Structure 1
Amino acid sequence: MISTPPPDWNSYVQSGIHQPNLPTIQEINKAEFAPNVIRLGTGELSPHLFPRERMKQIFHRLANLIDSLGYEEPKGLLFLREQLSKYLKTIGIEASSSTILIVSGALQALQLISISLLQRGSTIFLEKPSYLYSLHVFQSAGMRLFGLPLDENGVQTKMITKQKKRQNASLLYTIPSFHNPTGILMSEERRRELIDVCEQERLI
């Protein structure tokens, strides 16, 4: 009697939407939970800095306003979207609550952009180096990544103009404030320059 061969798990992993982690990445992930390691990669506050008393006051005040702990509508809590809409108006952005989508975090937003707004195989410009987990999201969605060099003021915008037509990039992904992993804070002058170049090159 011949037994059924075991599943080929490697083929399942390779054909899945998420690419397998490299051993180096696995080591980094493991180290993040070591008690003697400070987790700089996630950008989280130290527990010593939590405003615990303020949080207690807010939770106490809002407890009677909670009507449900179930799922909200797909776009997110309506009250939150309405408040965001009001705030955006104060900085010159017209966005109704119906056009706002609440996501669980930046990576979910990047994944939604990748699979809904971009075609598979599109090229994305990003800083070199860039945030590790965002790279996984783009690669899992079948995007091509092209790294742009950094200097002390942020991404070098002249490289965008130089490479745009050659690479046919669809989008620029940048981290202008406290860049991960370098910590660079893009200067105001460079930010304006970046917006001008992206408008000129029609780069989102």
Structure 2
Amino acid sequence: MDWKPDRSDKKPIYKQIAHYIEHGIATGIFSPDSTLPSERALASELGVNRSTIISAYEYLHSLGIVERKKGSGTRISTNIWGISHKRIPNWGRYVEDGSFLPNLPLVQKIRTETQKDNFINLASGELAPQLFPTIQFREILTRQPFMENLGYDHPQGNELLRETISQHVKQYKNIDTNSSSILITSGAQQALHLIVQCLLKPGDAVAIEDPSYCFSLPIFQSAGLRTFLLPVDKDGVNPNDLISLHKKHRIRMIFLNPDYQNPTGTVLSTPRRKKILELSSELGIPIVEDDPYTLTTFGGEVNQTLKSMDSNGNVLYISSLSKIVASGLRIGWIIGPQSVIQRLADAKQQVDFGHSVFPQWVANQFLSSSYFSEHILTIRKNLKLQRDELANSLHELLSDEMEFYMPNGGIHMWCKINKPIHEGRLLEESLKKGIAFVPGTIFGSQKGYVRFTFGREKVESIREGILRFADALKSVTNT
């Protein structure tokens, strides 16, 4: 065998070997009716440890390329050959090699497990079904039959909805804008994706909060961005940290969730908001403000958004109806300079030819009616009850084991476990007991934290959920 692994290559040696063997199978170097070299023989020939060959063979086995049987060696899998020895595509390879990265395995596991019956879900970031305005939507559909054109709509989204949103953000958040500066998106997630894909390039440095929802999103890694962390304290991120990061890495964009931040529930203080806007103007760094929770404020006072304070057009503002109306409606929006909005709208057209007509119509009817203001008061009242139930349950059942920050809005509570713990084992044990939460390291660099979402479950289920979690925590700490 003339080929040798390249030790200067960043790719692990076992993967180099596996890819060489796969190529050899495809080109006929390795015959489909023969056994591959033994682990010891191949290790000796390539000058590597036997464990490296074992890893390579196991990797090929996981992709369905080889079969491994104790005492019989490693053979090319018969499943990759169809009738008349025609190759079947190696779907395992395609799945692995795609440029868009999958969700973290823990995130995938939580989503799968929470679909089971009798599961208490303190992980999913959404409202409880009973808080959705289902009755109001039915009344809208009864009183005002849908008579709209079902063809493709404007690239930026329905004109009437964009006009309504411009009035909505002025009334509730003091943001001055117009319909031409708004793009309708499929929730805030698509908005973030469009911004990352269209306005940044591989290798660009961006600043995100630590901890933050953005930390868990694969879209940053898929786009080849370098992410740098801004620690979050009780007053949000510190502007001085942004200065330090920019000096070292030339930050190209800042992603912030200033109000009832996910996962900490903290609020970026007004002095820090002003300083960050000053730095944005001084350094020419755009800010992406993700604002899903401002209107959930339990006290009724809505904080000034960065966008409402932005006199220079430095802020791209993202919001949606997912966290305050219904997650399944899939209505979000971006507000920004018209040139940026047009660029993002063009990209959205390439992806889905524009947003679906029907949910835009429903959203417009709801936002422009008296139902919306009544609904906001309802969810504030109910979310506060759910937060209080979670806080009381933690006080009563886990006061010695955990500390937590008491948010004044939003749907999340950030909790610190007072003793070292293995997060994976704690999650596994909790899922067995029918309770889901999100481990803190999914959101950032801090260990020993968990995020409970109080917005998803009924009040009567929250205490039972914490009872199950307490039982799981006890099981893990006693082993």
Normalising TM by the smaller chain, what interval? 0.7 to 0.9
Q: How far apart in 1 are the matches of 2:124 and 2:277?
A: 27
**Structure 1 vs Structure 2 CA RMSD:** 2.7
Partner residue, 1:103: 185
**CA-to-aligned-CA distance 1:98-131 (integer Å, 9 cap, x gap):** 3422111111111111111112221110011221
Q: Are 2:228 and 2:245, in contact at CA under 8 Å, matched by a contact in 1?
A: no
Tell me, yes or no, if structure 1 residue 26 matches structure 2 residue 108: yes
Which stretch of structure 1 is more off in the superposition, 75-84 or 2-11? 2-11
1:76 aligns with 2:137: no
Q: How does 1:42-191 map to 2 (within 5 A)?
A: 42=125, 44-63=126-145, 65-87=146-168, 91=174, 93-95=176-178, 97-131=179-213, 135-191=217-273
Q: TM-score, normalised by structure 2?
A: 0.38
Whole-angstrom distance in 2 between the partners of 1:40 and 1:26: 12
Deviation of the 1:176 alpha carbon: 1.3
After superposition, give the CA deviation of every residue in 1:157-198 in whole Å (9 maximum; x if it has no partner): 211001102111111111112222222222333322322232
Residues of 2 paired with 1:143 and 1:66: CA distance? 44
2:161 is matched by which residue type in structure 1?
L
For structure 1, which segment, 77-86 or 98-107, has the greater mean C-alpha deviation from structure 2 after superposition? 77-86
Change (3 A) 1:161 1:79: same
Q: How far, CA to CA, are the matches of 1:39 and 1:66 in structure 2? A: 40
- Measure how far apart 1:69 and its partner are: 4.0
SS in 1 for 2:218: helix
Paired AA for residue 66 in structure 1? M
**Gap runs ≥5 in structure 2:** 1-31, 33-83, 287-479
CA contact (8 A) 1:41 1:181 kept: no
Give the SS at the match of 2:100: coil
Query: 1:17/1:66 Cα in 2 relative to 1: closer, same or farther (>3 Å)?
Result: farther
1:17 to 99, 108, 122: 99
Structure 1 counterpart of 2:108, which letter? Q
Distance 2:232 2:166 in 1: 34
Match among 264, 267, 283 for residue 201 of structure 1: 283
- Offset of 1:39 from its aligned partner? 4.3
CA contact 1:161–1:201 (8 Å) conserved in 2: no
C-alpha contact (below 8 Å) 2:230/2:241 kept by paired residues = yes
**Amino acid paired to 2:156:** K
Percent identity (aligned): 36
Paired amino acid for 1:93? D
Larger radius of gyration: 2
Query: What secondary structure sits across from 1:169 in the alignment?
Result: coil
TM-score normalized by structure 1?
0.82
Larger RCO (CA within 8 A; separation ≥ 6): 2
Q: Are the aligned partners of 2:205 and 2:227 in contact in 1 as well (CA < 8 Å)?
A: yes
Partner of 2:119: 36
Q: Aligned residue pairs: how many? A: 201
